[in-house]
Structure formats: C-alpha cells, structure tokens
Amino acid sequence: MSFSTEWLALREPFDRAAREGSALDLLPLTEGRPGSSSNNDGGDALTPYRVLDLGCGTGANLRALAPRLGGTQRWHLVDHDARLLAALPRVMTEWATTHRLKMPTPTSADSLLCIEGPQQQWRVELSWQRADLVHELDTLPFDGCDLVSAAALLDLVSASWLAALLTKAHEVRAALLFALTVDGRIDWQPVVAGDTQVTQLFTAHQLRDKGFGGPALGVNAVPRAVERLVALGYRCVQAGSDWELAPDSGARLLQQMIDGLADAALEQDPAARDLVLGWRLRRLALAAHSKLRVGHAELLALPLASEK
C-alpha cells in the first residue's frame, strides 16, 4: 500500500495536535533515563535512547516524539517506499528550519542526520533504511533497541505480522509505542443520510489485506495488540488521539476524507453506488459547515521493570 508525501504532509499537523492533546503519559519511557526531559540530574546524557520506527514515511513520528522524549536519542527509521525516504531529509530540514533547531554534524558514523532541540534539551541522530516490513522484519536492527514505535501503521497490519513483531520486540525487552491507530469512530456534525452506511463500508474496507500477509486488523488492531502484549508480560496504557476537523483549519483534510471514505465504500460494495455518490454530494455541499471527529488510539506497552 502506498501513501503520497502530500497526504502525509496534509495529515501531519492534525496527527500532531491529536497526539499533543492525548492523555497518554510518556513519562514511563523517559523516567530515570540519563539526560532525558524527566531527569535533569546531569547524568550521562550521551547514552542514546534507541528507537526503531517502523513505516516511518517522511519521519513524522520522530518529529512528534523526539522533543517529548528529551535527552540523547538515536533513531533508525524504516519504510519500503523509496519516494518517501527520498523526501525525508528535505522534510526534516524544513522542520528544523521552521523550529530553529540546529543540525550539527552527526557524531556516529551510522547516522545520516543530527537534529538538536533548544538549549540542547534533546538531540537526535538518525538513520533510515529502505526495507519491507513483511519480508525483512528479521533483518531489522532490534538489538539494543529501547523503543519500537510506529505511527498510523498498526491498523494496516495482519494478526500474524503483529504477532511476529511483538515477539521480536519482546526478545530484546523493548517498549512499544503505536500512535494514531484508527478505532472506528467517525462522527460527523451535522449528520446526513448515509453517514452510518458509508462508515460501515469504510470500516469493512479497512479490514482488507494491506500487504501484511493477511486481512488487516483495522479497528481491531489495538485490542488485538493489547491481548498479545499482556500475554507477553507487558503493561499497556491507552489513550485517545482523535482528529478534530473543522472547516476553518481542516477544510482540505475534510474534503479528502469525504473522497477517501466514498472511494473505499464504493470499492467495498459497488452495488451501493447510488447511496455512496448521493452521500458524497450531500457531504461536499455541507463541508463548509461540517465538523468531523475521527477516532484514533495511542498504545504504549512497557516491559515489566524486572525484565528490562
């Protein structure tokens, strides 16, 4: 399944706002870590916190998380899409420029970029790799990893791939953070005829195979991940991270959501053509006065303290 740089750039501010507004507490990840934002003890700030980010796109997850994690971090980003990885250095540089972040020369030979936060509150060295998460999962650098993360990926994957990933993370006692997984809630204000049916078709479409070797977990992804993580001995914490779209700030994304929902619904049930096209016209006519909430969840899984 492929995603354009334009789509990822369009959703990034809404993803970031949703995550910043989320009640998910990241403190357990940083607590006690030398040089982290929650520990100003002047400890060995050079010990990097290692993150493996899966399905990285152009690196939005790093941009959302690195400032919150604080301290010295080393990220390795993985995606199978060469176009997204080619855009990654430009998008990172634009982000650094916009936020007046420094980009010093990396100290590690393995790193391709380095970005430093204000007053050296955090520093990230990053590298990236083109790899297929399905066929090359076993080759990825899990060893020494503190955190395995993925944003907007978990709902695409199959149950068998998820099981394989969780086993890999568990083997190295890494924490896991899955951001922005859809949970099935799509709430329009005001409602129009066809909302329920189109949402049902869209939700069914999300369960189709997305290239991870079986039906995608879609809205069942977080409950399924929690079930397996608990069985592996992880402590799981969940919180909402909903998109809140309104015409003033989110007009383009609202429009794309209307088209995206309609396209998926039509593909799911071509016989529902009249219903879906009628719904799309009603929704577009009302777009300038509509609000949309799209339910997402954050899931943090922590290995038992005694295990790490």
Ligand X SMILES: C[S@@+](CC[C@H](N)C(=O)[O-])C[C@H]1O[C@@H](n2cnc3c(N)ncnc32)[C@H](O)[C@@H]1O
Residue 158 vs 290, nearer CB to ligand X: 158
Q: Are 92 and 79 in contact (CB under 8 A)?
A: no
Among 62, 114, 133, 292, which residue sits at the site for ligand X (rule: CB under 6 A)? 133
Stretch that binds ligand X, among 149-157, 195-203, 230-238, 291-299 (CB under 6 A): 149-157
Q: Which stretch binds ligand X (CB under 6 A): 22-30, 129-137, 190-198, 272-280?
A: 129-137
| Least distance in angstroms from the C-beta of 131 to ligand X | 6
Which position among 29, 140, 145, 152 is part of the footprint of ligand X (CB under 6 A)? 152
Q: Specify the 3-state DSSP secondary structure of 254.
A: helix
Neighbours of 132 (CB within 10 A): 12
The answer to whether residues 218 and 155 touch, using CB atoms and an 8 Å cutoff, is yes
Restricting to residues 188-247, which ones interact with ligand X according to CB under 6 A?
Answer: 211
* Residue of 209, 217, 223, 207 whose CA lies nearest to 159: 217
- Give whichever of 94 and 132 is closer to ligand X, judged by the CB atom: 132
308, 259 contact by CB (below 8 A): no
Residue 159 binds to ligand X (criterion: CB under 6 A)? no
Report if residue 61 touches ligand X, rule: CB under 6 A. yes
**Single residue of 81, 125, 183, 242 touching ligand X by CB under 6 A:** 81
Which residue from 159, 289, 169 is spatially nearest to 223, judged by alpha carbons? 159
Shortest Å, Cβ 159 to ligand X: 15
Angle at 76 between CA 72 and CA 81, to 5 degrees: 145
Quick one: CA torsion of 86, 88, 90, 95, rounded to 10 degrees?
170
Enumerate binding residues for ligand X (CB under 6 A): 1, 3, 8, 55-57, 60-61, 79-81, 84, 132-134, 151-153, 211
